[in-house]
Every structure is written in structure tokens, then in C-alpha cells.
Structure 1
């Protein structure tokens, strides 16, 4: 692993204002976020703060919040967030040199809504492939060396089969010394054996297992009986 813990210190803040209003951010400030496995999945409803967390982690590591590799630090006009400016890491033994030297850092931030722009900036030609194929191209060409790889809902553009391929890429990256932190809604990705699963919500941050995720339970129930859900949303 590259990092063992992420944390942030803020002398004072208004807990009624974003992002300090998010329970997961307040927990990051008080307890920090420990990483216990090479792959960590953050799972939660829209608005829970999981995307805010992964973006801040990427920024804290020096990755452009728009997306891309460490070589493209702040290539976009997007400003660094208040939380991202304050993120600090406790290095794992393998990551001490990387965190101690800017030039030694390796990583990539892949966010769903800006992935194709980031890939084009990295030298890919996303216009020649589908959105999903562009995502997979990033993994095949950029997610190779030991480093910190942060992702925000990478499954957004992927089919079932492509999600399975992505799981294989993530597993190989972790086995080769990389570390992955991924915000996701996917029950496919979170089933990766050995991954650490953290549920984000009103409780803040809570470690759980794939089988105990509310996400997994809802998908099971929906696939078994779609009508039980659809009757509440269809006229």
C-alpha cells in the first residue's frame, strides 16, 4: 500500500456549510480514514459525500481535481477545494519515498464526468472509441505502476462485461503494488475479494462487508421482484 491513513485539520468551521456539513467529512476531521487493504470502496447514496471525499484525497496527493495523472497537476482551471488543501497522509512503508518526494509520486484520478477530457490530455484519442472503451483504455495504458489511483464512479460508462474487466484491472494493479480508492454504486465492483468496503452516510464512515451493504440488498430485491419497487414510482 501507499498510504495507511488520510486526515485533515481545520481550526474552526461552520458545520452548517458544505463540505463541513457532511458527516463523513466531520469524521475525517476527527478520526481520519484508515486504509486496511490495497483496494478501498466507498459506497453511499447520492449526496452522502463519497465523491467529495475521493476528490479531496486525489487533491491531497497532488492530482488534478478535473482528473488525470500526476503529470498534469492543476492543468485545469478548477480550483483546489478547501478540504483538498488540508488533506494529509500517513505513509505506508512502501509509500514513504513517494510521499516524501514530489517527483516520485505516481497516480491517477478518474472521475466519470471528465474522464474523456482527462484521457485526451493524456494522449489518448477518446473520440475514436466509445465512452466505456475510453475508460478501459485508461486502465490498460495508465493504471500500471505502483501509485495511488483514485476513482469516482468508474462504472458509470461500463456494461456488465466491462465492469468485470475493470475488476480484473483493479486486482492486477493492487497485486503489483498499487493502491485504489474508489467511490461507487456498483455491487459488481464492491464484490472484489479482499477489498475494504466503507459505507458512507448519515453515520459518517462505517466499515462493512459486501453482503451487508444496503446497495447489494436493494439490487437483490429488485432483481427478484422489480414490481415491488416500481409500483412506488410509476403512476
Structure 2
């Protein structure tokens, strides 16, 4: 399977960074970063808001050739240029095999991607419609969750590198479980995933690598050791006690 590890690791070009006191280099996960190795199947970035999960995933995506706002390698549009310069300071160490497919799926800018698809399909002489690869139904004519899911199940074809940024933002718990099953199918088709998430469900893929970004930097951990899992477990194990503590202080 390792021959299909399309992105093996990344290195931060620390010597080229003039200051670690400005964004995004002041983020603890970046400030202490030297090199990160990725799992050949599924790697997760987890951590609290502001730790740099999406910033790091975005930089990996851009360095790999994806559009900052998402899509496949063929998408090239800009709605609002807000991405950080981090991709200029990282080096991706790639595997021998090149992926035959790839997609950067991010909940935050998915609306912009859906709009760009419609604009391209309206162009004269466009030929086969792009939306056909996404299930054939306008992504704007579905709920956010359904359009996100349609993209995932129709557009991800296997033998690819797939980067997902907080997919749980658009998916119900049941869809998140279904996403795990489909990730497994795609992994069996020589695919690699790097996912930034807050969801203990999505980060539960067996034997995956979980990298937690904290104030101390990045560290490898297990599902049960993450704050996300611990908090959810506390809530469901003793909901009344936790709510009493929260609401009566």
C-alpha cells in the first residue's frame, strides 16, 4: 500500500521565514514545526479552534496544486483571496506513484465551488457538463449537506489524494458514519486522505494517524486521548452532571 502514498511528509523551510511573530508563523503548530510524516491511508489534523488545522491543510493543498477555495486540480477561480502564504514555505515529499485523481473539499468555501461549476457549465461550447461528475443535480439546488455528500460520493473516484477540511460542518452524524465507510472503499482503491476535523466520528477510522495541534505544537495521539473524544464521552456518560456544572456556575 505504501507505494500509493502520494504525500509522504512535509518540511517547513524554517530558514526562509523572516519572523515567527506574524501570521501564520506565530501559530504554535507552525512555530514549532519542522517535519510531519503522513500515514499512507488516513491522517487527521485535530485541535481547538485557532490552532492552525485548516491553515496547515490549506497550505498542503495549494502546494499540491489545488485551488485555495477547493475543487480538483483543474479548478482555478478566486472569490476572495484570503489564504495564508504558508504554502510558499513548505516542501512536500511525494511518493513514487502519482495520483490519478484528487480533490480539496472544504466546507467553508463550498458555495463558491458550486457557483464556479455553474458558471463554467453555462459557457458556450463547454461540452460535457462538469456537474455530471457531481451527480448531475445543481449543487445549489440541494441542501448544503446533500450537495457536499453528492460531491464526496460522485466525484471521488479512487487512486487519488483527497484533502478534506472540516467535512462534519455539512454532515449529520449518520452521514459522517457513511463517510467513514466510503473513505474505506476509496482507501481500498489506493487513495490517501488528509483530513482536518473536530468530529470524533470522522476521526475514528481504524489505524489512522491523528496529529493533534496544541499550544505546545503538533503531537501524534490516539482517538481516546483527544479532547474532542474526552468531552463527548463526558457529556454522554453523565450529561446531567455536566450540564448542572455548566449552567449553575
Shift of 1:156: 0.7
The answer for the alignment partner of 1:102 in structure 2 is: none
- Residue 188 (structure 2) pairs with residue 175 (structure 1): yes
Task: Quote the Cα distance in structure 2 between the aligned partners of 1:151 and 1:173.
Answer: 14
- Residue 98 (structure 2) pairs with residue 106 (structure 1): no
Shift of 1:14: 2.1
Shift of 1:177: 1.3
Aligned residues: 225
The answer for the alignment partner of 1:3 in structure 2 is: 7
The answer for the alignment partner of 1:43 in structure 2 is: 46
The answer for the alignment partner of 1:78 in structure 2 is: 81
- Farther-moved stretch of structure 1 (147-156 vs 115-124): 115-124
Contact persistence 1:2–1:179 (CA under 8 A): yes
Task: Quote the Cα distance in structure 2 between the aligned partners of 1:226 and 1:13.
Answer: 48
The correspondence for 1:197, drawn from 206, 210, 214, is 210
SS of alignment partner, residue 206 of structure 1? strand
The answer for the alignment partner of 1:210 in structure 2 is: 223
TM-score, structure 2 normalization: 0.83
C-alpha spacing 1:74/1:62, structure 2 compared with 1 (3 Å): farther
Task: Quote the Cα distance in structure 2 between the aligned partners of 1:157 and 1:12.
Answer: 35
**CA RMSD, Structure 1 to Structure 2 (Å):** 1.9
The answer for the alignment partner of 1:57 in structure 2 is: 60
- Farther-moved stretch of structure 1 (119-128 vs 106-115): 119-128
Shift of 1:118: 1.4
The answer for the alignment partner of 2:97 in structure 1 is: 94
CA shift digits 1:153-180 (9 cap, x unpaired):
0011111111111111211122211111
C-alpha spacing 1:75/1:134, structure 2 compared with 1 (3 Å): same
CA shift digits 1:141-162 (9 cap, x unpaired):
2111322211110011111111
The answer for the alignment partner of 1:15 in structure 2 is: 20
Contact persistence 1:64–1:76 (CA under 8 A): no
Task: Quote the Cα distance in structure 1 between the aligned partners of 2:115 and 2:181.
Answer: 24
Structure 1: segments with no counterpart, 5+ residues:
99-104
Task: Quote the Cα distance in structure 2 between the aligned partners of 1:51 and 1:80.
Answer: 10
Task: Quote the Cα distance in structure 2 between the aligned partners of 1:194 and 1:141.
Answer: 26
SS of alignment partner, residue 68 of structure 1? coil
Task: Quote the Cα distance in structure 2 between the aligned partners of 1:34 and 1:54.
Answer: 14
Task: Quote the Cα distance in structure 2 between the aligned partners of 1:130 and 1:176.
Answer: 29
The answer for the alignment partner of 2:126 in structure 1 is: none
- Residue 148 (structure 2) pairs with residue 135 (structure 1): yes
Shift of 1:23: 1.6
Which runs of structure 2 are paired with 1:107-122 in the superposition (5 Å)?
107-122=102-117
C-alpha spacing 1:79/1:161, structure 2 compared with 1 (3 Å): closer
Task: Quote the Cα distance in structure 2 between the aligned partners of 1:37 and 1:194.
Answer: 11
Shift of 1:56: 0.6
Runs of 4+ aligned residues of structure 1 deviating over 4 Å after TM superposition are 74-77
